[in-house]
Structure 1
Amino acid sequence: MGIVKIQKLYESIKEKNFDILGGKGAHLAKLLDLKMPVPSGFVLPTTCFKLFLEKSDYYQRIQSILQNPINFENILEVSKQLQDSIMHSKFPEKFLIEVEKAWEELSKHTKIEYVAVRSSATVEDLETASFAGQAETFLCIDNLDHLYKSIKDCWASLYSPRALMYCLTNNILVDKVQMAVIVQKMVNSDIAGVMFTADVVNKDPSKILINITWGFGETIADGKVDADEILIDKDTLKILNIRIGKKELMSIRNVNACGTRIIETPHNKRDCCCITEEKIIEIAKIGLEIEKKFKYYQDIEFAIENNEIKILQSRPVTTM
């Protein structure tokens, strides 16, 4: 693969390699082969991150920091030095040209108003460690300038105190971790959620567990909302229980700037389930198909816009 060979997320990708696409990117490439409804986009492979670091005026400084031991005492200072170095580094000209080209090609392939920018680390979405929530995601990015900043922010988040702490406690060598970045058409979701193809609360592999809420799913990921909780029998697809969450807050697009904002959920949406039983079964069937492909219980993020389901990511469940 060429140094800046950006991979299109709307056609088959030959090299579905964690070392190139990161965990999240590799799984999305496999979902594309399954003809799953994945939002169109492109992946900046880990080679882009390597090129960015190597061409940086701060390269020697970054390498020097990474070669020294990181511990609980110096983790905040190390994080600041690494993140500052990345944010102050300039993009190589070749990289900017290729990203702009990928943006234009994506715009021709599908109408895009906004994109989502997601991290995809090489230690992410493994069966033994998920790295979930350690690096950043940026939603509703509206132009190239904001995209470039979000890419840097994704790379820098690899060295956040939270991510470094995760590496430290899981015996992961920080200097061996690389980061790909996923850019996808933004799903302006009416509802969004997370589906586990096993009941991770009660450790029951015979059930499917779905958490779902209004707006974007980041309120679930951040623990900001009491979402609806749905339990389904895996064999019969019978809905066993629906618990209505309070859903007091919801995330929506910020109309005055790129990004999102949190608002209070309208009262008439709080006391009812935000999804129909028919749609629940449709999502569950998709989940079972993905689980069959990956041969392991899956943690699947999805979004629904205008009644159309989109799969945002799928990773192995690590808590069963």
Structure 2
Amino acid sequence: MFNAFMEANGLWDYVFEKLDTIDFSSDASLISVAAEIRERIISSPVPQEMAEDIIRFYSQIGDSRQPVAVRSSGTAEDLDDASFAGQQETFLFVIGNDDVVKYIKECWASLYNDRAIFYRREKHFDERNISIAVVVQCMVSAQKAGVMFTSNPITNDYDTVVLEAAWGLGEAIVSGIVTPDNLWINKHTGEVTTEYISEKETMVVRLNERGGTKEIPVPEDQREAPVLTDDERNQLVTLANRIEAFYKKPEDIEWAIVDGQVYLLQSRPITTMK
């Protein structure tokens, strides 16, 4: 769909010509050209038939007020020796037909963030072979969330699952707002070999009925309490083992929990394991 959008608006030649003008020894040049490319993409219209397809698929998730996450996924993302995680945008609690179309286009534009362009150049990726997909998934109003590594990327230990957990949405961890609880667990026995329970002062939650997110203080009685129960921890380790077995390689997974139910949000390869 991204490629069709670019072709419909005649954007490919413009993008490649602008990329060729970047002086990569100058941060100002990179930032300026990247911003110009993104602005041209965002200001270009989504063809009516394409917009209707997006709205039709959105309606299959729920009614027109169903909040969703609009998540970018580069088609070259997270190869065995390269990680593009965090370089494109994700938008949470997006509500309504117009905003879903709007934020899909903003995800497309984020393919040309300055840091993404620079990283691709450093890794010798051909810009003419780069594209982007966008995932629209039902939003989970997480009471607890975090990430888990099916093997330990710090010690290169393939027998250890690493869990990071915080209250509220996982955005608090990803954006560095909070230091999460950190657990190292033997994936074969379930034994917790290392446990650090942090003081978690801030959490991210839904802003209001119109969508968006906000930061709020964590209730006093939860700040120094473990986020995960034993049962939730065991569920996550079991899922980590299943996912690693399925992909046949260590994975970096985002998860959320609502009323004890674990939801898996995304999985990508760990690119730093030796």
Q: Distance in 1 between matches of 2:251 and 2:171?
A: 18
Q: CA deviation at 1:176?
A: 1.9
**2:57: which partner in 1?**
102
**2:200: which partner in 1?**
247
Unaligned runs of 5+ in 1: 1-47
Q: Determine if the alignment matches structure 1 residue 232 to structure 2 residue 185.
A: yes
Query: Compared with structure 1, are the counterparts of its residues 112 and 201 closer, same or farther at alpha carbon in structure 2 (3 Å cutoff)?
Result: farther
**1:83: which partner in 2?**
38
What one-letter code is carried by the residue in structure 2 that aligns with 1:265? Answer: V
Tell me the secondary structure at the aligned position of residue 282 of structure 1.
Answer: helix
For the 8 Å contact 2:22–2:30, the answer to whether it is kept is: no
Higher relative contact order (CA 8 A, sep 6+): 1
For the 8 Å contact 1:112–1:186, the answer to whether it is kept is: no
What one-letter code is carried by the residue in structure 2 that aligns with 1:104? Answer: S
How do 1:47-196 residues align onto structure 2 when only pairs under 5 Å count?
48-56=1-9, 58-66=11-19, 71-73=24-26, 74-107=29-62, 113-196=66-149
Q: Distance in 1 between matches of 2:99 and 2:47?
A: 17
TM normalised by structure 1 equals 0.80
For the 8 Å contact 1:57–1:89, the answer to whether it is kept is: no
Q: Distance in 2 between matches of 1:294 and 1:68?
A: 40
Tell me the secondary structure at the aligned position of residue 162 of structure 1.
Answer: helix
Q: CA deviation at 1:62?
A: 2.5
Q: Distance in 1 between matches of 2:84 and 2:12?
A: 25
For the 8 Å contact 2:93–2:213, the answer to whether it is kept is: yes
Q: CA deviation at 1:256?
A: 5.7
**How big is each residue's C-alpha offset from its partner over 1:86-129, in whole Å with a ceiling of 9 and x where there is no partner?**
01100011101111111122227xx9730000001011122211
Q: Determine if the alignment matches structure 1 residue 288 to structure 2 residue 241.
A: yes
Q: Determine if the alignment matches structure 1 residue 300 to structure 2 residue 244.
A: no
For the 8 Å contact 2:65–2:96, the answer to whether it is kept is: no
Q: Distance in 1 between matches of 2:150 and 2:232?
A: 16
**How big is each residue's C-alpha offset from its partner over 1:10-38, in whole Å with a ceiling of 9 and x where there is no partner?**
xxxxxxxxxxxxxxxxxxxxxxxxxxxxx
Q: CA deviation at 1:72?
A: 3.6
Q: Report the number of matched residues.
A: 271
What one-letter code is carried by the residue in structure 2 that aligns with 1:99? Answer: I
Query: Compared with structure 1, are the counterparts of its residues 168 and 72 closer, same or farther at alpha carbon in structure 2 (3 Å cutoff)?
Result: farther
**How big is each residue's C-alpha offset from its partner over 1:235-270, in whole Å with a ceiling of 9 and x where there is no partner?**
111122321111111110011642111122122111
**Percent identity over paired residues:** 34
Q: Distance in 2 between matches of 1:88 and 1:98?
A: 20
What one-letter code is carried by the residue in structure 1 that aligns with 2:40? Answer: S
Unaligned runs of 5+ in 2: none
Q: Distance in 1 between matches of 2:148 and 2:23?
A: 36
Tell me the secondary structure at the aligned position of residue 234 of structure 2.
Answer: helix
TM normalised by structure 2 equals 0.93
**How big is each residue's C-alpha offset from its partner over 1:58-88, in whole Å with a ceiling of 9 and x where there is no partner?**
5542242245566242311220121011011
Query: Compared with structure 1, are the counterparts of its residues 57 and 296 closer, same or farther at alpha carbon in structure 2 (3 Å cutoff)?
Result: closer
For the 8 Å contact 2:22–2:33, the answer to whether it is kept is: no
Q: CA deviation at 1:188?
A: 0.5
For the 8 Å contact 2:162–2:184, the answer to whether it is kept is: yes
Q: Distance in 2 between matches of 1:203 and 1:70?
A: 38
What one-letter code is carried by the residue in structure 2 that aligns with 1:294? Answer: Y
**1:220: which partner in 2?**
173
